[in-house]
Structure formats: structure tokens, C-alpha cells
Amino acid sequence: MTAHRAGATPVRVHVIEPAARVARDDLVAIEEPLEIRVAAAGGGEARTVALTMRTPGADFELAAGFLHTEGVVADRAAVRRIDYCSDAGDQRYNVVTVRLASPDLPELASLDRYGTVSSACGVCGKTSLDALELRASSLPSGHPRIDPDVLHSLPAALRQAQRTFSATGGLHAAGVFTATGDTMAVREDVGRHNAVDKVVGWALLKGVPVGEAVLVVSGRAGFEIVQKAVAARIPVVCAVSAPSSLAVDVATRFDVTLVGFLRDRRANVYAGADRIG
């Protein structure tokens, strides 16, 4: 499990340069499936709700964050325990069961759209947006207030915490920060949506409030990133790259501050500009 904890595994590569061809050791980010199961406190067979391709590490946070952003788990009290599955044999570290506090399973029909979730993107679109509108409301306007200097400091703070990216160059990162720029938690994964679920799950399991936090992602801001922020009640989302049109629509609809191209002391604010300044 050493490589799993590091999130990277060694490989042999041939480096081709104009003047030479050299064989050397390198590291690549690990990508493996994680099956997420849900079980009721009253017993009964666990139900598989998703299979996501992820970088091993913070698996319990990933499972909790995924279920929270999908509306299955409302808070920490809704989770009785999380375990790796002993009946999965050699693959036990790729199967996680979330045992809920409720004696019966909640309605899980909204998760039927999840078969395999690739590391490239989450499941998104009109179905997800409709489901989000049924369970989420707009966030409180104007809070928190973010100083522009703090905003510009966040990409460097995120990058500094990307230890596996430094070794592999192959992982996304998501971090939650205070409105004054202090790092709360940073997680890495081959999937940007998984990285977000990991930090959301960290906050849920630790009981850390994120109602005035800033979510920063290392790549673009697609629909699934803003959707997860709305579900977790995180009011500010920042990306070092571009947002999508649907991400802007969701941010506007739910009063989330959405910042894109946050780099080189510049930023575009696509929604919720009243929180910046």
C-alpha cells in the first residue's frame, strides 16, 4: 500500500531528446476504480451506487463527499461508519461501504445515472441540474468578502500543497481555504471532481464548516465542480483555467461567486462579484 498512499507508482521510461535517448525511472499517477456502496444501519445487503476512477488515498473522504454532494448524506450524523469491504478479496481497498445511521436506505434513484464515472469528468447535464434545484437553495449573498490580494495568493497556496503532482505532473487538486487565505485542506486526484469530493468529504467527516470557505481547483471549472460547491454550501469557487457556460449558469442561479483564469495576478469573475473587494 505504500504506492497507494503516495498516489504514484514507478515506471521505466525512455526520454527522447534532440541529442540523446536516455532510459530512466519515473513516477506516474495511479488510477484505479473505487466502488462506492451504501448500506443501512438496520442491516441488509449493501447497494453499489457508483464506480469512479480515482487516485487511491482519502477514499473514505471521497465516498462521503460524493454522497454528500449527491444529497444522500446530509451531515456527519448521517454516517455511522465507513469501511473497506473485506469480502472484496485482493481488491478490498478498491471497494468502500458507507454504513448510514438510518435503519433504512434513503431514495437512491437519483444515483441510477451513475454507472462508471471516469476520471475525466463527473456525470453532468440537465438531469443533475434538476436534481440540484430540488434540494438546494441560493447561498447567502455578499459573504464572505474576499480581498483581491488574498484571491491572487490562492493558486500558489494550492500548488505548494500538491506533493504528488510535483512528482508526476499528472494530478488535479482541489483545496478549501478561509476567506483570509489560510489553507484548510487540499486533496489530489486524477479526476478533478474526485478531488473536490475528497475535500468536501474531509469537511463533512471532520465537522468543519465551509459556509464561508473558498474552493480552489487546479484546472477548469465545469458544471460538476460548481454543482458540488452548491451542494456543500461553499460560496466561492476559483479555477486557474476557464469555466464552462453551464458552470456560469449554475453559479448565477445559486449566487455562487465563480472566478476563472485565476493566475498571474489576474482573474475573471463570472458570477457573484459582490463578494470580491
Distance of CA 58 to the CA centre of its chain: 11
Q: Do residues 204 and 193 lie in contact, with contact meaning Cβ atoms separated by under 8 Å?
A: no
CA distance 213 to 223: 19
Cβ-proximal residues to 13 (8 Å cutoff; 6+ apart), any chain: 23, 24, 25, 26
Q: Please list the alpha-helical segments (H only) found in the chain.
A: 2-6, 59-69, 126-135, 148-160, 163-168, 192-206, 223-232, 245-254
What φ, ψ does residue 179 adopt, rounded to 5°?
A: -65, -15
CA distance 46 to 130: 27
- What is the amino acid identity at position 58? A
What is the set of active-site residues? 121
